[in-house]
Amino acid sequence: MGANDRTYKFALGTALLEAATDGRADIPLRELAVPYAMSLVHRIGQAPQARPGSVTGHTDYLAVAGEEAAESLRLGFPTEKLLAATMKSMPEMVMQKFHNLRGSGQVPHRFYEVTGTPNERIVRLTADLRTVAVSEQTASLRGELDARWSIVETSFAAGIGRSLVEEGVSVDLTTMRITDKRRRRPVTGVTEAMIGFQHGRCLICHEPVVPGRDAIAVDHVFPFSLMDRLSLMVDLDAVWNMAPAHTACNLAKSDRLPESHELSRLVRRNEAIMNSPHPLRRTLELALGPYARRGRWPGFVRHVWSQISR
């Protein structure tokens, strides 16, 4: 939930998860730099990795990565020049900021410490990181990392970023993918983008949702059938009302109204999204309308509830 001017945190997250999943405790920076650089060069030709106009000069790390991308992809390994630039850039930039939150705070856990000498830096992975890497939620976390990365780089795209910041995103209901309103192109999956904000849990039964193990559906918390029955002034077919759930839970729930504990989870989930960077936050702000100032999510959900129970 930190500020995103560049996508370095996603590359570092990817590299840290990979190392921790392999059971590493101490890893030389030189080794950690490899998956870091490769995850960036895989994306750099497809989408911008920084705000437009912020990459200046040939020595900028992203300029080097862009120049070395094709050869590194051909080799399956960063070129010497890219590896050297990566080992210089990582400790100066992203490794100092990775634990920061937007504003001034820091996350409560540390995932690594940097030790060793400037010539031979060692990254010590913490027990907290290793616990996350072997937990049943790792698959979910990888999907989420990828989803957030896609959302942020889409927000950097010329001509798209502004529309995302002003208009938010929409959902393609046939594919359950988040799309940008300008190009109508899929950005990422609804489940991958949202599951982390509900702690990787099904909104209905509150048990973990594990990609690859569980069949997953996207639940309309207030059932969509209400849209026909009542002339609601709110859109139920929107991000604020959609929540990843087990397919079985979703089928069992069918068209029933949400229970109060499900509504509390929806309120908390939406409040968590409101603490994240654009553009999901913007999408929810627009859904709130006048409630963006008064009552926020509890007030908005009570408003919808009062409309349907009239």
Which residues are at the interface with Zn ion (CB under 5 A)?
A: 202, 204-205, 246, 249
Q: Between 20 and 216, whose beta carbon lies closer to Zn ion?
A: 216
Residue 307, number of CB atoms within 10 A of its CB:
15
Least distance to Zn ion from the beta carbon of 175, Å?
22
Least distance to Zn ion from the beta carbon of 247, Å?
9
Least distance to Zn ion from the beta carbon of 266, Å?
14
Task: Copy the structure tokens of residue 23.
Answer: 């059971």
Q: Between 29 and 204, whose beta carbon lies closer to Zn ion?
A: 204
Least distance to Zn ion from the beta carbon of 226, Å?
21
Are 217 and 194 within 8 A, CB to CB?
A: no
Query: Is residue 265 exposed (0-12), middle (13-18) or buried (19+ Cβ within 10 Å)?
Result: buried
- Which residue, among 102, 144, 86, 99, has the nearest Cα to 9 in the 3D structure? 99
Q: What angle do CA 187, 193, 199 make, to 5 degrees?
A: 175
Task: Copy the structure tokens of residue 161.
Answer: 């970023």
Q: Between 27 and 209, whose beta carbon lies closer to Zn ion?
A: 209
Are 218 and 242 within 8 A, CB to CB?
A: yes
Q: Between 129 and 221, whose beta carbon lies closer to Zn ion?
A: 221
Q: What is the largest CA-CA distance in the chain?
A: 70
**Which residue's Cβ has the minimum distance to Zn ion?**
202
Q: What angle do CA 178, 195, 232 make, to 5 degrees?
A: 60
**Amino acid at position 77, single letter:** F
Least distance to Zn ion from the beta carbon of 131, Å?
23
Least distance to Zn ion from the beta carbon of 193, Å?
19
Q: Between 37 and 249, whose beta carbon lies closer to Zn ion?
A: 249
Q: Between 140 and 276, whose beta carbon lies closer to Zn ion?
A: 140
In angstroms, the CA 183 to CA 89 distance is 34
Least distance to Zn ion from the beta carbon of 219, Å?
9
Are 125 and 27 within 8 A, CB to CB?
A: yes
Q: Between 24 and 253, whose beta carbon lies closer to Zn ion?
A: 253
In angstroms, the CA 300 to CA 274 distance is 14
Long-range contacts of 153-160 (CB under 8 A, 24+ apart): 153/7, 153/43, 153/47, 153/48, 153/49, 154/47, 154/180, 154/187, 154/279, 155/4, 155/277, 155/278, 155/279, 156/47, 156/48, 156/49, 156/50, 156/51, 156/52, 157/47, 157/48, 158/48, 158/52
Q: Between 55 and 210, whose beta carbon lies closer to Zn ion?
A: 210
Least distance to Zn ion from the beta carbon of 140, Å?
14
